[in-house]
Amino acid sequence: MRFGVNYTPSAGWFHSWLDFDPTSVGKDLEAIAGLGVDHIRLMPLWPHVQPNRGLIRPRALADVVTVVDLAAEYGLDVNVDGLQGHLSSFDFVPAWLSSWHRRNMFTDPDVVTSTAHYLRRLTAAVAGRPNLLGVTVGNETNQFAAAPHPFPHPVTEEGAGVWLARLTAAIRDEARPGTLVTHAMYDAAWYDDTQPFGPAHAVEHGDETIVHSWVFNGAAQTHGGMGAGSVRHAEYLCRLAAAWHTDATRPVWLQEVGAPTNVVAEADAPDFLEATLRHVARIPELSGITWWCSHDVSRDLLDFPELEYDLGLITSDGRVKPTGERFAATIEQIRKQSHTVEQSTALILDDTVPGYRAASGPSREFYRSWLDLAGDGAGPQIVLASKAGDAELLSARGITELRRPLERP
């Protein structure tokens, strides 16, 4: 299992791409490597690399390559994201997609062609690096597709699939064999029936199923910051994602998970981190955990939601925080002794009725039933009702017992 962090530069946050300083990046990567991780997720800003639909800046691509090479010096593999897109409540969309030039990023033929070209160029720039782990289409791009985004780019479920197929293919055009090709969505894909990007897209496109788990989505509000429903949410969401797999061997990557201090007390954050890691590490098909994030956002930067200033494992001035110390100690222990548990029991989610995505949400009865079945042990697998009769798939997943959600008075 891989363990890594989402790299947030200590100086200038992601705005540092505008004023790139390899020395500062090197110090950050040295500190990150000191935590014992094996990879980082790297996120260049899309408008910085492609400020015009016809211009992809060679200098920006070279800066990305420099970071990949610097990471190699510290023994770190790198996953590069393309469309940023959306980061920490801010949108970074090129000027050629906004205001007077606004076009639909998912459906406009010229936009999609140019976006695919950008991803090919980005992939080609890093493709030959031996420490390249993979390339992801972008960060939570589905948040642009529907509410609550204030200015969504509407797309149908079918259109979302067409868009993903086109962009993952663009990456594959330039990627070397063995390079992971993925795409990432925020959890509305699993919990919101109105979100056009859904579970099927997560499992049908890319080489691994990507999960982003955040307990400010109702989990902590319902179960308490340190309640089982919070510290086990990442484990549950990874199990929920795997329910849509048609290939029992397909991996799940927990690409984002963090300890948000708006719902988890700061003093509890190290314990929340450790419990989350230990629970989710029991899933055999989990390929990796990438914590959000490496460094805190500096207080010199304004207008971030309060929680964003305290998500790092390392302060913006380079001090390893209690969460960073706990992260390093926990992943070292998990590596020394396997935590994976084969789970033969599965809970049935009825996907044949309207509203089944919302019904699986963190405040709903299905999740409570899952927690009840989990008890103090590994959480059960999840099976869709539409697949409950597929004996071959159940056997491949090691499932021998099916349970239905508990009904409460």
Which string of DSSP letters, residue by residue, matches 272-298?
HHHHHHHHHTT-TTEEEEEES-SBPPP
Domains of the chain: 2-336 (3.20.20.80), 345-403 (no CATH)
Query: 85 near 92, Cβ under 8 Å?
Result: yes
Question: Quick one: average pLDDT of 377-386?
Answer: 97
pLDDT over 60 at 86, yes or no: yes
CA distances from 226 to 111, 122, 259 (A): 44, 40, 10
Dihedral of the CA atoms 241, 42, 47, 49 (nearest 10)? -130
Q: How far apart are CA 324 and CA 63, in angstroms?
A: 27
Query: 212 near 185, Cβ under 8 Å?
Result: yes
pLDDT over 90 at 72, yes or no: yes
Q: How far apart are CA 317 and CA 298, in angstroms?
A: 8
Instruction: Note the pLDDT tens digit of each residue in 209-238.
Output: 999 999 999 999 999 999 999 999 999 999
User: What integer pLDDT is reported at residue 149 of this predicted model?
Assistant: 96
Q: What stretch of H or E contains 348? A: strand 345-349
User: What integer pLDDT is reported at residue 172 of this predicted model?
Assistant: 98
Query: 8 near 42, Cβ under 8 Å?
Result: no
Question: Quick one: average pLDDT of 281-286?
Answer: 97
Exposure string (b/e) for 197-216, b if CB count within 10 Å is 16 or more? Answer: bbbebbbebbbbbbbbbbbb
pTM: predicted TM-score of the whole model, two decimal places: 0.97
pLDDT over 50 at 409, yes or no: no
Its sign, for the CA torsion 29, 34, 40, 45, is negative
Q: How far apart are CA 74 and CA 274, in angstroms?
A: 25
Instruction: Note the pLDDT tens digit of each residue in 299-319.
Output: 999 999 999 999 999 999 999
